[in-house]
Amino acid sequence: MRGHAAYWRGLMAEGKVVAFGPVADPKWPYGIALLRLRDDADPQTLGANDPTILADAGFRFEIYPMPSVVLPEASSRE
């Protein structure tokens, strides 16, 4: 899992990941990542290159679009 976290931290440093981390769903634990990609970028590639996915240990990567996103206004960040 260290390689998994380091991989996503690296993508964050590149500006491709806004946030990521585990979700404590009592039914089934999983992780989530919010991506910020150019329109021509393929998010499937990011998941396919995750060390946890490459280890073929039963994990999977799914992509779901967010039709709208609510962000703080620029003036509230100053």
What percent of the chain clears pLDDT 90, i.e. is strictly above it? 60
Within the chain, which residues score under 70 in pLDDT? 74-78
CB 16 within 8 A of CB 36: yes
What pLDDT, on a 0 to 100 scale, did the predictor assign at position 75?
54
pTM: 0.79
What percent of the chain clears pLDDT 70, i.e. is strictly above it? 94
Strands (E), the chain: 17-23, 30-35
What pLDDT, on a 0 to 100 scale, did the predictor assign at position 74?
61
